[in-house]
Amino acid sequence: MADLSPDPENVMSESSQYQVVVEDAGPARKRITVTVPSAVVNAQLSNQMATIGGSVNIPGFRKGKIPKAVIEKRFGDAVREETRNELVRDGLREAIESHNLEMLQQPEPTEDSVPEVENGRDFSFTVEMDVVPEFELPDFSTIEIIRPVLEVEAEHIDEEIERQCLRNGKGETLEGDFLPADRLLGRAVCTRKGEDEPFFTNEQTLIVLPDAGERGEILGLMIDDVNAIFADKAVGDAVSFTIDVPEHYEREDIRGKTVSVDYQIHVAERIEPCSLDELVEAYQLPSADVLKEQIQLALEQRRDEEQAIVLRDQAREKVIEQMDVPIPEKLSAAQVSNHLDRVRLGLLERGEDEQTIETQVAEAREDTERMADNGIKLMFLHQRLIKQYNLTVNEQEVNQQIVKLAMQRGVRPDELRANLVQNNQIQQIGTHIVENKAADAMAQQMKIVDMDADEWKKRNEDGAGSGSKKKTTKKKTSKKKTAAKKKSTKKS
């Protein structure tokens, strides 16, 4: 990458018509001043006049023979505006190409408006923009990452069968006496503190009660002791509580504010698992043994995919820790949203259900400052690796990923695609694929050490594991309650 440090002298190649000065304007931000000599301005104005004169019809004049004074009177303002736009566009392109600048956002004028173009005078304008900064990557071969090794045993198969029985279970309607893992559906009305009118209303807000005493996700944010809020409540009752929104929340209008929520319970249910025979019948298999064989194959495939995810996550985290990169101030809020999309798609790739995904995304929102900085560093890292390894993604790969995610979630591929399109996440699928390719290529250059999965898990729980994300500490619960959280939301 070219040197982006300020140059006190004009930078103008022999073939260039523009004088360009690039200066630092902040962390990873450049101030660009472009000056166009009067001779170039005059030539551009003259060309624009000639183009208009040869294309318009004015009564009393032959086409192409219209005097300049007439064209100036009728079209002078439009000619100067179009000329100014062309000079700005060409001047910026010259500045970006001559200095090898990689834009992170559209340039912003330093003044309220760009100066007007005048015949016989130099034209000059100044803009600022965030750019990809220079940074050094560590030697990947010196970094050690751990691959957890696991053999799929009978107990793993039994646990998966239990989970599938819950996923295919039936919902029992409740009126009250709610317990952890019960599901509530109701109307949520959200109002900013100090205001009377709500800014958000949703008639179908789902709440899955967490373990007793634990925090839970409501409307995409984490709430303390959710069960206490609904203690002694019944269907038809209303509850009120407040939420403190993180400073880097995606919506600017509530970022860092306190929101009051009025929630009325419409429906409540508890999932009762189906039997093993009913599960075999649901999957249209000849016997429970065949079901177990298929589950074992699926778990082994999931294990291999999980290993790849763990390796690339460690690789990313360890490299980011060693990257010394200036952070553009204006990118922080946008990167929170991008990072949350990445978290959401990663969980989707792991086969998690909708409620589990939203809960973990809500937990991720709480560490917004670190998330924003790391998200920006990760974006720079991915851009560098994708360019370095010349990585791409095609439509077939996107379609294959959608089919795979749909199978994991038990929905039709066209249904999942429609959902992704509706939520503006279809492009994120392609981005996710090519970024994973970049992380995989990086991880393969590192020193990979195998470790028993149980030991790996223990190290992570003790906070000693490298490359793992710290999970919210929860009390141990029964498998039934844990799996119930992963039940599909279709019933509600």
| Other residues' Cβ atoms within 10 Å of the Cβ of residue 456 | 19
**Contact (CB, 8 A) for 380 and 326:** no
Q: Look up tokens 């259900």; give the residue.
A: 353
Per-residue model confidence as pLDDT tens digits over 51-64: 776 666 676 666 66
In this predicted structure, what is the pLDDT of residue 381?
93
Cα–Cα distances (Å) from 330 to 106, 135, 259, 428, in that order, read 12, 19, 25, 21
Q: Residue 364 pLDDT > 80, yes or no?
A: no
**Contact (CB, 8 A) for 362 and 403:** no
Selection from 99-113, 422-436, 461-475 with the highest mean pLDDT: 422-436
Bridge partner list, 170: 272
Q: Residue 328 pLDDT > 80, yes or no?
A: no
Query: What single-letter DSSP state applies at residue 39?
Result: H
The C-alpha angle 314, 318, 324, rounded to 5 degrees, equals 150
In this predicted structure, what is the pLDDT of residue 463?
61
Q: Residue 399 pLDDT > 80, yes or no?
A: yes
Token pair recorded at residue 160: 């998966």
Per-residue model confidence as pLDDT tens digits over 212-226: 888 888 888 888 888
**Structural domains of the chain sorted by starting position, each given as residue range(s) with its CATH number in brackets:** 19-130 (3.30.70.1050), 140-167+286-472 (1.10.3120), 170-272 (3.10.50.40)
When pLDDT is averaged across residues 344-373 and rounded to a whole number, the result is 70
DSSP 318-346: HHHHH---PPPGGGHHHHHHHHHHHHHHH
In this predicted structure, what is the pLDDT of residue 138?
94
Helix (H) or strand (E) holding 19: strand 19-26
Average pLDDT, the chain: 81
Q: Residue 349 pLDDT > 80, yes or no?
A: no
Q: Residue 325 pLDDT > 70, yes or no?
A: yes
Selection from 248-262, 336-350, 395-409, 433-447 with the highest mean pLDDT: 433-447
Q: Residue 487 pLDDT > 50, yes or no?
A: no
Angle between helices 354-365 and 368-389 (to 10 degrees): 110
In this predicted structure, what is the pLDDT of residue 211?
87
In this predicted structure, what is the pLDDT of residue 351?
66
In this predicted structure, what is the pLDDT of residue 371?
65
Token pair recorded at residue 111: 């003044």
